[in-house]
Amino acid sequence: MPPLRESTDKLLSPKQVAKAIGASESSLKRWCDQGLIKTVKTAGGHRRIPVHEALRFVREQNHAVVEPHILSMTATTDRKARRIEGVAERLTEALLSNNELTCRAIVFDMFLAGESVSRIFDDVVAAAFRAIGDKWEFHEAEVYQERCSCQIMLRLLHELRSHQVPPNPSCVALGATIEGDQYVLPGTMAEIVLRSVDWDARLLGTSIPFDSMVKAVETHSPELFWLSVSFIEDEAAFIAGFHRLSAAASKTKTAIVVGGRALTSEIRTRLSYSAFCDTMRHLEEFGKTMRRQTDIASQKSRKTRKNA
């Protein structure tokens, strides 16, 4: 539990407060100069607004708060938020206490700070859910808390996704989880990571039978198909199904990418795929490289077509 002290004397810049309450920086500065908001000044003459002052102003003026997390977080929006240390722990805490605003603040602060989604997912989101899983094992967290955390995170992921630039429709990637695997978060994160490197990635959904994946591959001929494997019910069936998928993919020249904690190295030796990704960063790298190659290939084929 982070100490509550200094939550009230935390200082914000006019720009931050402006963003928090949905006004322009100019107006904020004017209101400060008019005395509507009391400010502290730095040695160099910059205005600094204590959080409690900002909150008082909001209450007195009945002003709206557009980005509440800026005013409610104790230590964030500094460049420090960029530092990974402690962020995963804070996210864990926020998820377990059902504090969606704080979760949002943590994820979006990193995103806005220019952190790649793959890093956010690997170092913060995945770490937080590992921690929640551990707590559950030691009976320090309830199943419903874990599920509820997934709900919160899924909403955040969808919001993040909606902020991404619309993908280039020329490069289609499809993804799925296998039958019996209900973990939607890893697949969704993979989708977002691939979209961040300009793939038109679409997660088909969770718990999809291999034969239906085969149909999807045959119908859409994606350049890439990713399989997120968090849980394997029947190992033999998995391997057999995977081979059928592999066969279909080789016909459509679809690259198969696999990942997920259920894929032990023992199992992996019995599969054949284009790439195995331990982390979202790996997936991002692979996605990038493959896009480059695909671009070159499509340029060539365009040239060929032009020549013909």
Partner DNA sequence: CCATTAACTCGTTCAAATCGTTCTTACGGC
Partner DNA sequence: GCCGTAAGAACGATTTGAACGAGTTAATGG
Is 42 one of the binding residues for DNA (CB under 7 A)? yes
Give the pair of three-digit tokens for residue 244: 């059928």
Applying CB under 7 A, which of residues 7, 30, 204, 207 lies at the interface with DNA? 30
Is 78 one of the binding residues for DNA (CB under 7 A)? yes
Closest distance between a second copy and the C-beta of residue 279, in Å? 20
Give the pair of three-digit tokens for residue 225: 């198909």
Query: Applying CB under 8 A, which residues contact a second copy?
Result: 1-5, 7-11, 22-23, 27, 31, 34, 36, 40-44, 48, 50, 61-64, 66-67, 98, 111-112, 114, 142-144, 146-148, 150-151, 154-155, 158-159, 161-163, 165, 176, 182, 202-209, 212-213, 215-216, 219
CA 87 to chain centre: 14
Closest distance between DNA and the C-beta of residue 106, in Å? 17
DSSP string, 98-161: T-HHHHHHHHHHHHHTT--HHHIIIIIIIHHHHHHHHHHHTTSS-HHHHHHHHHHHHHHHHHHH
Select 23 or 237, whichever has its Cβ closest to a second copy. 23
Partner in contact with 4, chosen from a second copy, DNA, none, beta carbon below 5 to 8 Å by kind? a second copy
Closest distance between DNA and the C-beta of residue 265, in Å? 35
Name residues whose C-beta falls within 8 Å of residue 52's C-beta, 6 or more positions apart in sequence.
8, 9
Closest distance between DNA and the C-beta of residue 123, in Å? 15
Given its phi and psi angles, is residue 299 left (phi above 0), alpha (psi -120 to 50 degrees) or beta? alpha
Applying CB under 7 A, which of residues 3, 35, 44, 169 lies at the interface with DNA? 44
Select 47 or 202, whichever has its Cβ closest to DNA. 47
Partner in contact with 79, chosen from a second copy, DNA, none, beta carbon below 5 to 8 Å by kind? DNA
3-state secondary structure 161-225: HHHCCCCCCCCEEEEEEECCCCCHHHHHHHHHHHHHCCCEEEECCCCECHHHHHHHHHHHCCCEE
Stretch that binds DNA, among 76-84, 92-100, 212-220, 293-301 (CB under 7 A): 76-84
Contact between 44 and 33 under an 8 Å Cβ cutoff? The reply is no
Select 30 or 119, whichever has its Cβ closest to DNA. 30
Interface residue list for DNA (CB under 7 A): 13-16, 23-27, 29-31, 33, 42-47, 78-80, 82
